[in-house]
């Protein structure tokens, strides 16, 4: 009865779609409806038939040879799936990444019926050829798909019920599709699970073969699952993550963009040379613990040398990033885009780590062997910024060096150019920068001809840039050229793991006293207007004042932090969610200026702010309330 009702509902949905191009919500599953719309956009008629585009036997053999590795690795899984499906009235089908059927096997009688709608080797089953169907729609949607009877777009294909899942390699690329097709009937719940298990087998074999020369880490929540198709697999070149199967990506909450960008320490605690631990486990940065087994490549010596650990204090000084999962994900996407020539704009408050992010983008990208040239547009004197950026020839102006100057833009050739505080670049120079970005040529002052340059551009700003008018910090045409992809770095006070970060940074300074709970509570509650930079500076100061065997006391805290805590009502102490962040920031700036006798440079260093930023904040505090403007 339920089957008949479903068939009637699909018949009604097809009529409505033919007449109106739409159906009421809930009548058809969303992936199917999206496919119907794509087919309609191609001009297909539901009552028509697919185009007959069978390959010749010679063309099919060529296609099979191109996909020989996929076919060889899939054959055992396809045989097992045929047995599990019962063999009667069903076919197991393998297609390539374009939806071309490479192989099929199963019930002969059903194969003959299926051949009437060209479900056979040599036939294309992408949506552009066959309309809505499990193989083609799974390729477009990039996910498991079941298509039952009248859900197929073309009327003749309603004799089929199909379940298909894409097959991916260790870099997330789709290699093909495995499909189980049968006579039209209700999709049994276990069908997709059977196909999933078979795809796991295929992907497992493909991964093992592809990464034979690399270190492979196996993960599973159950020790008995190690070595089995459902385990997570990760491949490393050194400590760089270069491959991961679907199970590993899902377990660790990673996107395929992490591949080639993440390091072992971005994913797990400790280092790869010491994994797994004595109990045979690894701990992910998320806190999840997995049973693990690490296989080194055969070419590596039987006894792998154990590398000395980087001293904790050196690690703290090296500027190693302390990114959370969201920022790591944004970094991975930015690296792939930057490698493709897309300009990146970093937005965020002062001290959130925009330059650290940019340096990591350089270190993990294709241009890591090239230079990283950082330019603080707010720190360069306006009279020198043109010559510093674009360079000049000998004798270009009075006082010019005899040999001339290459200029920062040419120094970045082959690497990454980082323009910090791009909003403070004089408007008259922005047109010249825009021309450089469009032509990829620099015209040094006094030069007769332009010089070609090739660099990846990363810009940063602490304030909004995207608006027009006389007060716009950046020309609109330049903005859209430098902000092809924007990353917004959250302030430290917004990080949910702030306390864990605090403890990690403290431990990174090496031997020393433990931070007392009351000091931790004060530091955790503080809004950190200077963000990460300010926290690092404060902890370094406390570590020095306490000494290796001393104790951290409240009177060692900077005056602005003590003042913020003392000024907060008891109900708000230790509760940053209720704090008036702007008022606390203003108070911190006033206290720092007072503590340093009005010396802006010293107060800026104490707060972890750039001098120019503090000048602007101090000026805003001195202005009447109606004209005060925050700097973000």
Q: What is the pLDDT of residue 167?
A: 97
Residue given tokens 């050739």 in the structure block: 413
Cis peptide before 276 (omega within 30 of 0): yes
Query: Averaged over 527-547, what is the pLDDT?
Result: 90
Q: What is the pLDDT of residue 404?
A: 58
Q: 124-128, 144-148, 150-154, 549-553: lowest mean pLDDT where?
A: 549-553
Q: CA torsion, points 488, 492, 493, 494, in degrees to nearest 10?
A: 40
Asked if pLDDT for residue 260 goes beyond 60, the answer is yes
Asked if pLDDT for residue 206 goes beyond 90, the answer is yes
Please, what sign has the CA dihedral across residues 261, 264, 267, 270?
negative
Q: What is the pLDDT of residue 589?
A: 76
Asked if pLDDT for residue 432 goes beyond 70, the answer is yes
DSSP secondary-structure letter at 627?
Answer: G
Across the strands, what pairs with 146? 163
pLDDT class for 361, splitting at 50, 70, 90?
very high
Q: What is the pLDDT of residue 627?
A: 39
**31 — phi, psi (to 5°)?**
-60, -35
- Tell me how far CA of residue 354 lies from CA of 98, 491, 572, in angstroms: 41, 11, 30
Query: Averaged over 49-65, what is the pLDDT?
Result: 88
Domains and CATH numbers, the chain: 57-186 (3.30.450.40), 211-309 (no CATH), 325-488 (3.40.50.300), 492-627 (no CATH)
Residue 169 CA to residue 148 CA, distance in Å, equals 28
Within 10 angstroms of residue 219's Cβ, the number of other Cβ atoms is: 26
Q: 225-229, 558-562, 617-621: lowest mean pLDDT where?
A: 617-621
Asked if pLDDT for residue 303 goes beyond 50, the answer is no
Residue 398 CA to residue 498 CA, distance in Å, equals 53
The predicted-structure confidence for 583-593, as pLDDT tens digits, reads as follows 556 677 777 77
Residues 513-535 as b/e (b if ≥16 CB within 10 A, e otherwise) read eebeeebbebbbbbbbbbbbbbb
Asked if pLDDT for residue 514 goes beyond 90, the answer is no
Q: Between 600-607 and 531-546, two packed helices, what is the crossing angle to 10 degrees?
A: 90
Chain centre to alpha carbon of residue 480: 22
Residue 66 CA to residue 599 CA, distance in Å, equals 71
Q: What is the pLDDT of residue 20?
A: 83
What percent of the chain has a predicted confidence (pLDDT) above 90? 53
Asked if pLDDT for residue 577 goes beyond 50, the answer is no
Average pLDDT, the chain: 84
Q: What is the pLDDT of residue 584?
A: 57
Asked if pLDDT for residue 185 goes beyond 80, the answer is no
The predicted-structure confidence for 383-392, as pLDDT tens digits, reads as follows 677 778 888 7
Q: Name residues whose C-beta falls within 8 Å of residue 258's C-beta, 6 or more positions apart in sequence.
A: 241, 244, 249, 266, 267, 328, 329, 332
Q: What is the pLDDT of residue 446?
A: 63
Helix, strand, coil percent content, the chain, rounded in steps of 5: 45, 15, 40
Across the strands, what pairs with 95? 101, 177
What DSSP assignment string belongs to 234-265? EEEETTEEEEE-HHHHHHHT--GGGTTT-BHH
Asked if pLDDT for residue 528 goes beyond 50, the answer is yes
Strands 344-347 and 485-488: parallel
Query: Averaged over 189-218, what is the pLDDT?
Result: 94
Query: Averaged over 163-190, what is the pLDDT?
Result: 89
pLDDT class for 374, splitting at 50, 70, 90?
very high
Asked if pLDDT for residue 398 goes beyond 70, the answer is no
**456 — phi, psi (to 5°)?**
-90, 135
Q: 87-96, 121-130, 375-384, 413-422: lowest mean pLDDT where?
A: 375-384
Residue 346 CA to residue 336 CA, distance in Å, equals 15
pLDDT class for 628, splitting at 50, 70, 90?
very low
Asked if pLDDT for residue 312 goes beyond 70, the answer is no
Q: 84-93, 185-194, 371-380: lowest mean pLDDT where?
A: 185-194
pTM recorded for the entire structure:
0.76
Residue 474 CA to residue 422 CA, distance in Å, equals 8
pLDDT class for 401, splitting at 50, 70, 90?
low
Q: What is the pLDDT of residue 87?
A: 63
Between 320 and 173, the higher pLDDT residue: 173
Q: Which of 554, 594, 587 is nearest to 568 (CA)?
A: 587
Query: Averaged over 459-486, what is the pLDDT?
Result: 87
Q: 501-505, 527-531, 590-594: lowest mean pLDDT where?
A: 590-594
Between 335 and 576, the higher pLDDT residue: 335
Query: Averaged over 194-198, what is the pLDDT?
Result: 95
Query: Averaged over 531-560, what is the pLDDT?
Result: 88
Residue given tokens 């702010």 in the structure block: 609
Asked if pLDDT for residue 6 goes beyond 70, the answer is yes
């Amino acid at each position: 009865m339920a089957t008949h009702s479903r068939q009637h509902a699909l018949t009604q949905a097809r009529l409505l779609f033919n007449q109106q191009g739409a159906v009421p919500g809930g009548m058809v599953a969303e992936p199917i409806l999206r496919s119907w719309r794509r087919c309609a956009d191609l001009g297909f008629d539901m009552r028509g038939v697919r185009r007959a585009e069978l390959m010749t036997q010679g063309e099919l053999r060529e296609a099979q040879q191109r996909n020989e590795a996929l076919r060889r690795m899939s054959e055992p899984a396809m045989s097992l799936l045929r047995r599990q499906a019962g063999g009667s009235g069903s076919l197991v089908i393998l297609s390539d990444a374009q939806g071309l059927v490479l192989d099929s096997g199963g019930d002969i009688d059903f194969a003959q019926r299926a051949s009437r709608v060209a479900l056979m080797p040599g036939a294309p089953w992408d949506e552009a050829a066959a309309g809505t169907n499990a193989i083609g729609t799974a390729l477009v949607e990039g996910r498991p798909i079941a298509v039952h009877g009248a859900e197929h777009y073309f009327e003749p294909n309603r004799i089929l019920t199909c379940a298909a899942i894409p097959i991916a390699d260790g870099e997330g690329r789709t290699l093909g599709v495995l499909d189980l097709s049968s006579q039209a009937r209700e999709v049994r719940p276990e069908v997709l699970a059977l196909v999933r298990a078979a795809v796991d087998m295929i992907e497992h074999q493909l991964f093992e073969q592809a990464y034979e020369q690399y270190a492979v880490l196996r993960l599973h929540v159950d020790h008995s699952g190690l070595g089995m198709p459902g385990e997570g697999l990760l491949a490393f070149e050194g400590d760089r993550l270069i491959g991961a199967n679907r199970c590993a990506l899902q377990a660790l909450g990673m996107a395929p963009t992490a591949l080639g960008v993440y390091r072992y320490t971005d994913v797990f605690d400790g280092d790869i040379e010491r994994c797994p631990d004595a109990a045979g486990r690894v701990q992910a940065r998320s806190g999840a613990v997995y049973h693990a087994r690490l296989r080194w490549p055969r070419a590596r010596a039987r006894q792998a040398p154990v590398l000395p650990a980087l001293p904790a204090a050196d690690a703290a000084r090296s500027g190693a990033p302390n990114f959370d999962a969201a920022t790591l994900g944004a970094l991975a996407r930015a690296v792939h885009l930057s490698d493709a020539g897309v300009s990146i704009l970093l937005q965020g408050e002062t001290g959130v780590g925009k330059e650290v992010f940019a340096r990591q983008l350089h270190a993990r990208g294709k241009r890591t062997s090239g230079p990283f040239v950082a330019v603080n547009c707010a720190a360069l004197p306006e009279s020198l910024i043109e010559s510093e950026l674009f360079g000049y020839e000998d004798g270009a102006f009075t006082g010019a060096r005899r040999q001339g100057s290459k200029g920062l833009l040419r120094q970045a050739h082959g690497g990454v150019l980082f323009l910090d505080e791009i909003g403070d670049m004089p408007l008259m120079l922005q047109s010249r920068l825009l021309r450089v970005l469009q032509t990829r040529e620099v015209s040094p002052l006094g030069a007769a001809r332009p010089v070609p340059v090739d660099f990846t551009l990363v810009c940063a700003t602490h304030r909004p840039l995207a608006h027009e008018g006389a007060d716009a910090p950046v020309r609109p045409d330049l903005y859209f050229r430098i902000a092809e992809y924007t990353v917004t770095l959250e302030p430290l006070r917004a990080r949910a793991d702030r306390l864990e970060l605090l403890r990690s940074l403290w431990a990174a300074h090496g031997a020393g006293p433990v931070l007392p709970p009351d000091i931790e509570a004060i530091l955790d509650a503080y809004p950190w207007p200077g963000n990460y930079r300010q926290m690092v500076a404060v902890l370094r100061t406390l570590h020095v004042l306490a000494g290796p065997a001393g104790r951290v006391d409240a009177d060692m805290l900077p005056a602005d932090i003590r003042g913020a805590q003392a000024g907060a009502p008891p109900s708000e102490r230790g509760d940053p969610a209720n704090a008036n962040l702007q008022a606390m920031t203003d108070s911190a700036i006033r206290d720092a200026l007072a503590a340093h006798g009005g010396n802006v440079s010293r107060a800026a260093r104490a707060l972890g702010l750039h001098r120019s930023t503090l000048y602007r904040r101090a000026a805003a505090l001195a202005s009447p309330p109606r004209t005060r403007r925050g700097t973000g």
